[in-house]
Amino acid sequence: MSDNDSPRPIAVLGAGVMGTGITTLALGNGIPVVLVDLSDDVLSTARAQVRQQSRLATMMGAFPGGRAAGELTTTTDIADIAGAAAVIESVTERVDPKAAVLAAASAAVVPGTPIVSNTSAIPVDEMAQWVARPEDFLGVHFMNPPYLIRTVELIRGPRTGDAALAAVRGLLDTLGQKAVLVGDGPGFVINRILQRMINEAARIVEEGVADAESVDAAFTGCLGHRSGPLATADIIGLDNVVDSLWVLLERTGDEGYRPCELLQRKVKAGEHGRKTGHGFYEHGPHGGAR
């Protein structure tokens, strides 16, 4: 295959849990990635995480056979994304860092380049004011880990153009992801429901009605859920849960989204779930609860 036949890279902004997961997904489907973060140390850790996740995904048959893996480039200079076919922002769910990253990204790429936020709660149209060309902007809410969970929320904002929507649908098809198109609004579908459920489950533990294991056992045993709300919260990251709850509270005014004291205490104590080894459960070195 000649260089002209090689796929253009996508840019992933943010080398945290979701950024490395999306990178792993793209590389395993033959798409090169430019992964951007602020620190060389963070990027070095991210490279190791991507290698580990790629091995796991390959062992689980998550990637198509007969396709060469994409090449990973890491950088701290956002100007290096200039030739990207698409940009996927995956930084923390807070206004200031998202606004800064999206503004810089939209200045770095040519018009017509789709800019996607892996947002979990902030409305797409609110974020569209931070980019130079709102018609190129939309949201995709990937699940964790994205290389194993094959369905995403695709969020079209009021100003999202047809071309951007079509291009991102095509990218998701290449990534083996099924897109569920949903409307814009705080939390969209999944997190508008899920984050409130997690908050209430944590409040039940806080009140002593049941422990975390019992809450989750009721959901898996009685309702047939594959994972209970508190085990799911540990996978998401309790810090991300709390950030999303604040976003939902501020934008809806619904007190049911106010993070309960137990969640806030755990986050302040650094008990963020699987990524730190402690949350509602203790987690082993490979992320398994014990």
Task: Mean pLDDT check: name the lowest of 92-101, 269-278, 281-290.
Answer: 281-290
Axis-axis angle for helices 190-206, 261-268 (nearest 10): 90
Give me the amino acid identity at 53: Q
Helices and strands in the chain, H and E counts: 10, 8
The residue length of the chain stands at 290
Sorted by sequence, the CB contacts under 8 Å of residue 140 that are 6+ apart come out as 88, 116, 117, 118, 152, 153, 154, 155, 168, 172, 179
89 - beta bridge partners?
Answer: 13, 117
pLDDT in tens, 114-133: 999 999 999 999 999 999 99
Q: What's the rounded Cα separation, in Å, for the pair 244 and 93?
A: 7
Confidence bin at 285 (pLDDT 50/70/90): low
Residue 123 structure tokens: 């409305």
86 and 7 Cβ atoms separated by less than 8 Å: no
Report strand pairing: 151-155 vs 137-141.
antiparallel
Q: Which helix (H) or strand (E) holds 89?
A: strand 86-89
pLDDT in tens, 89-110: 999 999 999 999 999 999 999 9
Confidence bin at 67 (pLDDT 50/70/90): confident
107 and 101 Cβ atoms separated by less than 8 Å: no
**Domains annotated on the chain, with CATH:** 10-182 (3.40.50.720), 190-268 (1.10.1040.50)
Q: What is the per-residue pLDDT for 1?
A: 38
